[in-house]
Chain A
Amino acid sequence: MNPEQLRLFKRITLDYFAKLAPAEQPAMGEPHMHFGEPELLDYTSLIEIDGEYQGCIYLTSPEAMLRDVLLINGEQKDSPEHLKDMCQEFSNVLSGNASKAFGGNWRISVPRSLSLAEVRALDLPASTFVMPITWRGQRALLVVGLRAVREAA
């Protein structure tokens, strides 16, 4: 993963939100590193990656943000199933963006949509690179979590 790839990945992910509501542009906050228990919100859209490093990329979002996106898409219902469907849509976007940005250097898994309980049951990397995205007053986290391949084995 090089800086250009990461920059492209961030940009096309932000573009997705920008297209949802052109009048309300998303903003990428100052990134940080997080260690230990991952920072997780209500629903998580996740893909696993494998290449120079092993790990995953995920977008973890608050329920209110997913509800907003459902409304934008004309869906009034916001049951857990609907929210999870919306989360799956994010996962698909994430997967497409990762394929575009990281190209042939990385193997990318099938995208997954996970509730908080489900994602907590996974063994996610303990060191993460976290990029906050603020959109319509809500804050989601775009996270890259890597393990050095040798240490991951």
Chain B
Amino acid sequence: MTSLLVLPQAVYRRAKAPHELPGDLRLTALEWALYFAVTGTHTAAEIGREMRADEAARDEALARLFALELIEEQQLNASEYVRAVAATGDREEKTLVEFLVRAARPNAAAGRGGEAPGTPRQALRDGASVPHAGTSPRSAWPHAASGAASRLPRPAQPAFGFKPLPPPDGINKENRPMSGSRRLSLRALMNLIEKQAGSREAGQLDIYRVFVRVDTVLLKRSGIETLRFTEDRLVSDPELEQAIVRSVKKTLGLDCPDSIWVDVA
């Protein structure tokens, strides 16, 4: 079992699907929330913010999920990585040189796996503290609130200030920041499909064909059991959002434009 150096810009995905989980697996609420939230789409920082989890608790939970081999890190290309860094939420302005230097050495302070033996992270790496499925999380895995010694050391906060311009429509949608203020509008999406189809009936049929490919479990999880073609719903579940975007592409060959996302207060 290996441990994890959690960087805020790291993007994780599930290594095991929900139906593959052992029946006796026990996780904390935060760990479960993170397990379901990591879909290879958003950074650790974004997901943590969305859940209002403090950074230490977030990193600790991700490290445990990783150690239990429930999640794995998503590899990114350079463009995705830059967007991931930008999505971590660091608002401090940096020069390009500072950005590049820190990007090349993202965790200079913590070093590359260079922690001293005996630190909690090293202990985690050794497998000593990782509770196994079926053990009580509270007893086997002290919570962040139970004392500093139980926390994983925080990696140095990368001092990135690079703010990329928004990409053109259809580019890198899969790495769209999950800010709390942007939601996919189903009404806007349905309007778009109807417009593309040329008639209302053709549009409705196309919309239905798109939704045939979307897992109804995801829809129901967001409370969408019945959907009228004139109705608006804002999608807040990133997994559902991605499933819809993928299905639009697969079914209609259409890249979803920015106009179907709306800002919410």
Contact = CB atoms under 8 A, between A and B. Distances in A.
Interface stretch (A27-35, A84-92, A108-116): A27-35
Contacts of B213: 148, 151
Main secondary structure of the interface of B (DSSP, over half): helix
B220 A35 contact: yes
B229 A35 contact: no
Contacts of A120: none
Nearest to A34: B226
A117 B207 CA distance: 31
Say which size band chain A's interface belongs to.
20 to 34
Given A35-B211, A127-B212, A3 B205 contact: yes
Interface string A72-86: 000000000000000
A93 to B, nearest CB: 22
Interface in A94-153: 125-127, 129, 144, 146-148, 151
Interface in A1-34: 1-3, 6-7, 30-34
B199 interface: yes
A35 B244 CA distance: 14
Given A1-B205, A2-B205, A148-B213, A30 B228 contact: yes
Contact of B201 (A6, A53, A146, A147): A6
B225 A35 contact: yes
B201 A7 contact: yes
Given A3-B202, A127-B208, A148-B213, A31 B229 contact: yes
Interface string B189-209: 000000001010110110111
B212 A32 contact: no
Interface string B133-157: 0000000000000000000000000
Interface of A: 1-3, 6-7, 30-36, 53, 125-127, 129, 144, 146-148, 151
Interface of B: 197, 199, 201-202, 204-205, 207-209, 211-214, 216, 219-220, 224-230
20 contacts: A1-B205, A3-B197, A3-B205, A6-B201, A31-B229, A32-B226, A32-B227, A33-B207, A34-B226, A35-B219, A35-B220, A36-B216, A36-B219, A125-B212, A126-B216, A127-B208, A127-B212, A129-B208, A146-B208, A147-B212
